[in-house]
Every structure is written in structure tokens, then in C-alpha cells.
Amino acid sequence: MNIAWGITGAGHFLNETFEIFQKLKEENPDLKITSFISSAGEEVIQMYGLIKKLNTISNGGYLEEVFFERGQGASVPKTGRFLLDRYDALIVYPATSNTTAKIAYGIADTIVTNAVAQAVKGSVPVFVVPVDIAGIMESKMPYFIDRSICMRCELCPPVQDCPQNAITEQIDLLKCNGCGLCVKLCSFGAIKGGLAKVRIRDIDSENVERLRRLEGITVLEKPAGIKNAILELIIIER
């Protein structure tokens, strides 16, 4: 069983999705997963400290590569695999509102949206988990400095000892790798993660509904649906 995984730039349920894929690999030794990661997706994976875990899911062998958008060129030739019957399914999670809108309207200008276009053309089932469906959701945030707690110490251990030099007055999330060392080093608990309430825009909900109507694409509302979809494909293959 060969699965392609498209990751875009959203942090919502990202940790949970990595855990699902990791467990599926452990329970199904023959399962191969190729990761196609957008530029924004690469940044978010780094922010949340998931690079090492990614390499246990896609270990670099054939059909288990990690393809970052920055190294694939505008034409993304590796997505041609979907026309060559190399994959049993493509799963896009997390799918940002931007990616969802592009797929809904047939735009293929990133590594992930290009993969979707080629998968549909190659009759490969596509499963998309949009992060912005409807209503209000709680989204996990990367580490940040709570200025109401920060004592602005003259000698700040998180600033001095951050291995990525990512901390000054704030945390530079493009440098941060999500290791969490700064949380342990701050004696006042001023560095933390957290949850933010996000209101879903009407246009994003409308794009999800449009996506549901497209041939060859199945919309899943929760990460748990990924596991069920893959297990059903494994049963069918057997």
C-alpha cells in the first residue's frame, strides 16, 4: 500500500495527524508514505517541532521520500507519479483555507494542489481534511512570549540558550524549531503555547461545500477519518 500525504501551512490538529500516520506505519509495516509539503507546510512543521517525526513516517526510501516545495521546481515533476499508478490514495491534511479554495476552483500552483490535480487526472482517490469548515474552532498555537508575565530579565536564559537564536523581544517562528527548551528555561512561565479561538469565514465554508461536489475528492471533517480511509483501502487491496 502506497499513500501520498500532502501537508499545507496549518497547525490545527497537526500533531494528532502525525500521530495517526506514525501509528499506521507501526501497525502496517508494508505501508509506504510519500510526503509532499508546501512552503508554508515546511515552516509550520518546523515551528511545531515535527521534523524528526516526519522522517520516521517518510524515511527517504523509494515511495517514502519527503518532497519539499522549495526543491521541486514550478512544474513539480514528482507529482507525475499519480499518472503512473504509483499511489493508492492522496491525503491532504492539514488543508488550509487557501489550499481548499485553490482545489475547489481547479488551481494547481503549489506542490500540494498540483498533486491533487494529477491524482484526480490519474483516478487516484483524494481525501482532504479542511481546517476551516464552519463555526468556531480552537487551534493550537506555536510558542509565544506572554508579555503580561515576562519580567524582561537583563540576563534572559531563553534568549541566551535558544539553540536556534530565535528569541529576542519575541519568538521568531521562522527560526524556532518547536523544541520547547525556552519553556523550561523561563523561571516565570512567560513562554507557552496555547489555544486560539478562530471564527471560520463564510467564504471558507462555501469553498468546503464546493469541494464536496468535486468528482474524485472526499472531504473528511476530522483527522480520525484518515485512519479509517487508509484501513479500508488496505482491506480492499488484500
Q: Nine-digit cell at 144?
A: 509565544
Q: What pLDDT does 121 receive?
A: 96
* pLDDT, position 192: 83
What is residue 137's predicted lDDT score, i.e. its pLDDT? 61
Sign of CA dihedral 9, 12, 15, 16: negative
- Provide mean pLDDT across the span 116-121: 97
pLDDT at 13: 78
- Maximum CA pair distance of the chain? 63
For residue range 141-199, list pLDDT tens digits in order: 778 888 888 888 888 988 888 988 888 888 887 888 888 888 888 988 988 876 666 77
Are the beta carbons of 156 and 128 closer than 8 angstroms?
no
3-state secondary structure of 171: strand
Quote the pLDDT of residue 195.
64
* Model confidence at 234: pLDDT above 80: no
Report the CATH fold assignment for 2-133+201-237.
Rossmann fold (3.40.50)
Average model confidence (pLDDT) across the chain:
88
pLDDT band for position 135 (cuts 50, 70, 90): low
Q: Is the pLDDT of residue 200 over 60?
A: yes
Instruction: Kindly report, residue by residue over 2-44, the tens digit of the pLDDT.
Output: 999 999 988 777 888 899 999 999 988 899 999 999 999 999 9
**What pTM, to 2 d.p., does this model score?**
0.80
Please answer whether residues 130 and 95 qualify as being in contact, where contact means their C-beta atoms are separated by less than 8 angstroms: yes
User: Regarding the domain delimited by 136-198, which CATH topology (the fold level of the hierarchy) does it fall under?
Assistant: Alpha-Beta Plaits (3.30.70)
Residue 134: pLDDT over 70:
no
Give the residue with greater pLDDT, 179 vs 66. Answer: 66
Question: For residues 205 and 113, what is the distance between their CA atoms, to the nearest angstrom?
Answer: 19
pLDDT for the residue 47:
85
- The residue ranges of every structural domain in the chain are 2-133+201-237, 136-198
Q: What pLDDT is stored for residue 238 in this prediction? A: 53
- Cell numbers placing 114: 498540483
Query: 3-class SS at 213?
Result: coil
Q: Do 136-198 and 2-133+201-237 have the same topology in CATH?
A: no
**Residue 29, SS3 per DSSP:** coil
- Find all residues with CB under 8 Å of 225, minimum gap 6, and list them: 127, 129
Which of the four pLDDT bands, split at 50, 70 and 90, describes residue 102? very high
- Angle (CA) 140-142-148 rounded to 5° is 100
